[in-house]
Structure 1
Amino acid sequence: MGSVESYDTAKGRRYRVRYRTPNNRQTDKRGFRTKRDAEEFLAGVETLKATGEFVSSTHSRILVRDWAQVWLSSLVNLKPTTRSGYEYTLGKHILPRWGSHRLGDISHAQVQHWVSELSQQLAASTVRQVYHVLASMLKFAVRDRKLTRNPAEDIKLPRITKRRRGYLTHEQVAVLVEAAADWGDLLATLAYTGLRWGELAALRVKNVDLAHRRLSIVESVSEIGGTLAWGTPKSDESRVVVAPSFLVAPLKRRMTGKRGDDLVFTTLTGTPMRNNNFRHRVFNPALAKVREQDPLFPVVTPHDLRHTAASLAVSAGANVKAVQRMLGHASAAMTLDVYADLFDEDLNAVSDALDREAAAHFAGKVWPEPDLGPLH
């Protein structure tokens, strides 16, 4: 049990609390103006010790910039792009604002004000990403007993206005493929398999079974600061995607003369494909060419071809589980969340099918006026 002692200063009597931390280290806190304030502080310390929530004031004085490095080093199995994104967010948005602050000095009100300020400058999705990094870092501080609570909890975040996805029709895909000339087969592969760019760029000859039209997606590549980083697909799960038969011929042409470990899609000099270069040199010019002829043609990105694959699959009758497997989502719930709008038509189809099946039994039926009786 701790104790409360008085001592004299030039400004009058003050009180000091002596107590032991959970690891039995003697410490104190001074400067209380009244004995009651000191006793209340001591009671609070003893309660936190009893409940296991005690945090040493020494720990809460750690600077955010120092804790950021501890937090980063604790993160295992991160994709290189994810780690790079965290480092960028820390350097660009978090450390300039919070780096010199002590962990224990950050308040809920300060975090809310900061988020509100960011919302005036950045897109809602970016604000949420930045907030997530700070909140995760402070949550780790709570788990490591550097803070008793997370001041970034229960923060009001800006709402995201979702951009309408670019779903192309079969005809529109064909037009874009034609405009891309020698690279049209690559666009068709994206639009009819749902591969992410990094998965397509990392696809190797040995992982393509043309006889059965199977593509084994086991690897992905991304570009970080000009350097290519190779790893597993986004969900860390490999999957098998079935390619339409019309893609067999162009895939075979790409693979001819190559060995198993060679990449299916490469630049003209045989180097790995890079998304930004491809967009600048091939995709954007092809899209511009199409839009010159048809100004109403949707403005899309290579990633929108993945969305197109989902749309075309659903319109062909694929259920949510099949679309999930094709796209490599972690769960069918995630697929529904991302593509809920595509399955609205499914609801109409289900209703129409039920109507047809039940028509013979209910056609011409006269329903009696309901007698609600006591339910009134």
Structure 2
Amino acid sequence: MGTVEPYETSGGRRYRVRYRKPDRSQTDKRGFKTKRSAEEYLATIEVSKLRGEWMDPTKSKVTVGEWARPWYLAHSELKPTTLFGYDQALRKHVLPRWAKTRLNDVSHSDVQSWVTSLSATHGGSSVKQTYLVLAGIFKFAARDGLVVRNPCEGIRLPRILKKERGYLSHEQVAKLAKSAGDQGDVVLLLAYTGIRWGELAALKVERVDPVKRRINIVEAITEPNGTIVWGTPKSHARRSVPFPEFLDTVIARHMSGKHRSDLMFTAPKGGVLRNSQFRKRRFDRAVAELTAADPQFPRVTPHDLRHTAASLAVSAGAHVKSLQRMLGHASAAMTLDVYADLFDDDLDAVAAALNDRAVSSSVGEMWAKVSIENSEPRKKEKP
């Protein structure tokens, strides 16, 4: 237990509370005008320690803005694009609202009001990403004992409406590749392998095995704020991706005369092929031309070709596990979640297969016999 001790000041008698922190070090708080108020304070301290809710008073004045930087620096292992997203959320939304607010002064209702106001002007996905940054700051603060409870827990977030994907057919992929001109090979490779743009831009000659028809994804490029950064693929997972036989000539064309360490695809003037330049020079124009000629042609982006690759693979009979490995997803469950709509037809196929198996088996014969017996009129029993 702590103690309450009186001491004299020019303004009269005051009381000091001495107590031990959970780590057994001693501290005190001065300035109480009455012994009763000092004893009440000491009682609350002891109760908070017993409940595991005690917090060091020296940390209670830390603001969200002061704690945001150590939280951000603690995530140095993340991808540059992810860190750039965190930085954008901090500068645009989190710090303008919370920078000068003490961590312990932020309530659950304050956070909910903030999220609701953001939802009025921003999409659900953007609001969620911004909220996760603030929630991460408070989670980090709770682990360090700066707050007792995380006010971001249990916040109601806006619903994220999934954008309808534009899956291209084989014929539409061919049209898009042709319309893209000298960059048509890029369209074909993206649409028939499902690799990400950053993986294609970083692809080197030595990573392609034309005999086994495999592309080894080892590196990837990101462009946070327009700066090219080399790194590992998403989730740091390497993988081997197959490509169909008809792409042999495409692959050979981009390997010819190059050194093993050269890039497979480059910008017109050399160097890394950037997504923004590719879209501006070829892709967006090609899509615009095709949609003008055929309003039913999907308005796709280069990333949507990854979805097309998934669609074409499923239509060719690819198993979900094979699709997961091809796309580089963390699990088959993730693949099913992302592309659940592609597997809807599988349900019909399963039902049809079960029906065929049942009809051709003893189960089908037995059930048919039971059905006939049930359909025959029953004889009335004699009284």
TM-score (normalised: structure 1): 0.91
**CA–CA separation in structure 2 for the residues paired with 1:210 and 1:32:** 85
- The answer on 1:77 being equivalent to 2:81 is no
Check the 8 A contact 2:181/2:282 in 1, yes or no: no
Q: 1:366 aligns with which of 359, 362, 370?
A: 370
Pairs within 5 Å for 1:115-194:
115-194=115-194
TM-aligned CA distance change 1:120 to 1:168, over 3 Å: same
What is aligned with 1:341? Answer: 341
Name structure 2 gaps, 5 residues minimum: 376-383
**CA–CA separation in structure 1 for the residues paired with 2:4 and 2:127:** 46
Secondary structure at 1:19's aligned position in 2? strand
- The answer on 1:113 being equivalent to 2:113 is yes
Number of residue pairs matched?
Answer: 368
Question: Aligned letter for 1:195?
Answer: I
Secondary structure at 1:149's aligned position in 2? coil
Deviations 1:41-96 (A, max 9, x none): 43332233345442112212112111111111112411111111111111111000
Check the 8 A contact 1:21/1:27 in 2, yes or no: no
Check the 8 A contact 1:142/1:149 in 2, yes or no: yes
**CA–CA separation in structure 2 for the residues paired with 1:50 and 1:294:** 71
- The answer on 1:55 being equivalent to 2:55 is yes
What is aligned with 1:27? Answer: 28
**CA–CA separation in structure 1 for the residues paired with 2:101 and 2:197:** 40
**CA–CA separation in structure 2 for the residues paired with 1:8 and 1:350:** 86
RMSD of aligned Cα (Å): 2.5
Secondary structure at 1:225's aligned position in 2? helix
| Percentage of matched positions with identical amino acids | 54
TM-aligned CA distance change 1:369 to 1:150, over 3 Å: farther
Please state how far the C-alpha of 1:15 moved relative to its aligned partner: 7.9
What is aligned with 2:288? Answer: 288
Check the 8 A contact 2:311/2:342 in 1, yes or no: yes
**CA–CA separation in structure 2 for the residues paired with 1:200 and 1:31:** 68
Question: Aligned letter for 1:99?
Answer: A
Check the 8 A contact 2:18/2:26 in 1, yes or no: no
Check the 8 A contact 2:53/2:148 in 1, yes or no: yes
What is aligned with 1:44? Answer: 44
Secondary structure at 1:154's aligned position in 2? coil
Secondary structure at 2:122's aligned position in 1? coil
Question: Aligned letter for 1:25?
Answer: Q
TM-score (normalised: structure 2): 0.90
**CA–CA separation in structure 2 for the residues paired with 1:256 and 1:43:** 80
Please state how far the C-alpha of 1:169 moved relative to its aligned partner: 1.2
Question: Aligned letter for 2:42?
Answer: L
The answer to which of 181-190 and 356-365 deviates more is 356-365
Secondary structure at 1:248's aligned position in 2? helix
The answer to which of 198-207 and 291-300 deviates more is 291-300
Secondary structure at 1:241's aligned position in 2? strand
What is aligned with 2:319? Answer: 319
Question: Aligned letter for 2:122?
Answer: L
What is aligned with 2:378? Answer: none
What is aligned with 1:91? Answer: 91
What is aligned with 2:379? Answer: none
Deviations 1:254-313 (A, max 9, x none): 111111111101012221011111111111000011112101111111111001111111
What is aligned with 1:243? Answer: 243
**CA–CA separation in structure 2 for the residues paired with 1:32 and 1:156:** 44
Please state how far the C-alpha of 1:6 moved relative to its aligned partner: 8.5
Secondary structure at 2:223's aligned position in 1? strand
Secondary structure at 2:228's aligned position in 1? strand
Question: Aligned letter for 1:167?
Answer: Y
**CA–CA separation in structure 1 for the residues paired with 2:322 and 2:356:** 25
Please state how far the C-alpha of 1:34 moved relative to its aligned partner: 10
**CA–CA separation in structure 1 for the residues paired with 2:133 and 2:82:** 11
Question: Aligned letter for 2:127?
Answer: V
Check the 8 A contact 1:16/1:32 in 2, yes or no: no
